[in-house]
Amino acid sequence: MMQLLVIFLIFNFLIFLNLDRLSKIININDKPDGKLKKHKSTVPLLGGTIFLINFLILILISLFFDESVFLLSFSNRELFSILFFILFFYLIGLYDDKFKLKPEKKFILGILICIVSLSINKNIVINSILTTFYDHTIFLNNYKFIFTIFCITILINALNFYDGINGQSLIFFIIIYSFLAYKSSLTIFYIYIIFTLLFLLLLNLKNKIFLGDNGIYLIGTILILSIIYEHNIFKSIVFVDEIFFLLILPGYDLVRLTSTRIFKGKNAFYGDRNHIHHLLIDKFSLLISNIILLSYILTPIVFFSFFNLNFYLVLFIFTISYIILIIKLSK
């Protein structure tokens, strides 16, 4: 563990020293437009690239030095499918950050990537689900392929919709990966991921980098694979309820935004300033906005997993509090 930490510090110190050079190489920046983007200066969209460098270093360490990082040995086929999955989503995000892909094209490309990856690696197919409110395992059988693609697509879009202000998505990812580290035996892997996210958070809060779509897609796909492996292989997340409450805030905001846009006759996937983070930042400081978002992320999973409250009770409390917050912010 100490060796891994030293490697992390060395590589990220080098990244920090060469941030401007890396920014010029990638040459993808986020410019303020006075509408959706109200930051004051041009900021490089380097989040995904920095995370990718760290993730590839972690894979190399596990392949050649320490297999205990992942607690299992991947076959060449399995490793290829994982890298294919995360790298192509990263490239879609990178291309979108540079040239602005239409949402419909991103959606279709995402489904194609899922089909190829799931066909190669059956371990990332969700075969069954178990909940606390239904005391039987639900086997998906012929629907497992479609169900998995549906879950991946919804989650990727929810995470993309949720990203908007400095620190927001990175704090969310840190909370989720910390919960996985607590539940799982893959502690070394998750700690390395959390260190990387903390480094990105520091750069993000100083306006040195933004995650961009490339960062959201990359970190999001690794999160998806982690959750599926935890559920299928390691069995550390047995109940789907936990996953549901981990992701409920981005999920609720996705449903609210898309349904509102469709009701108004607009394209469901084209941006506006009605996201929860926009509503918060228009009324509060960045710090207060992130504290409110953090409380909405932590409350449901803490109540459900640590205080063992009933699923429906937690769902009811969260739903009412979310509705009240949106109504208050919309005034």
pLDDT digits (tens, 9 = 90+) for 70-79: 656 677 888 8
Please, what is the Cα angle at 15 between 14 and 18, to 5 degrees?
85
Q: Could you tell me which residues come within 8 angstroms of residue 57 by beta carbon, excluding any fewer than 6 positions away? A: 7, 8, 11
Do residues 124 and 229 touch, judged by C-beta distance below 8 A?
Answer: yes
Bridge partners, residue 43, by sequence = 30
The count of C-alpha atoms lying within 13 angstroms of the C-alpha of 154, restricted to the half-sphere facing its C-beta, is 16
State pTM to two decimals: 0.92
For residue range 104-158, list pLDDT tens digits in order.
899 999 999 999 999 999 999 999 998 888 878 899 999 999 999 999 999 999 9
Position 24 scores a pLDDT of 87
Position 97 scores a pLDDT of 93
- Chain centroid to Cα 49, Å, comes to 15
- pLDDT tens, residue order, the chain (331 aa): 667 777 788 888 888 888 888 888 888 988 776 565 555 678 999 999 999 999 998 888 777 776 666 656 677 888 899 999 999 999 999 999 999 898 889 999 999 999 999 999 999 999 999 888 887 889 999 999 999 999 999 999 999 999 989 999 999 999 999 999 998 878 888 988 999 999 999 999 999 999 999 999 999 999 999 999 888 888 877 788 999 999 999 999 999 999 999 998 888 877 788 999 999 999 999 999 999 999 999 999 999 999 999 999 999 999 999 999 999 999 8
Do residues 200 and 55 touch, judged by C-beta distance below 8 A?
Answer: no
The SS3 assignment for 30 reads strand
- Give the 3-state DSSP-derived string for 267-305, with helices as H, strands as E and coil as C: CCCCCCCCCHHHHHHCCCCHHHHHHHHHHHHHHHHHHHH
- pLDDT above 90 coverage of the chain, percent: 65
Structure token pair of residue 10:
């060395």
Please, what is the Cα angle at 125 between 311 and 132, to 5 degrees?
15
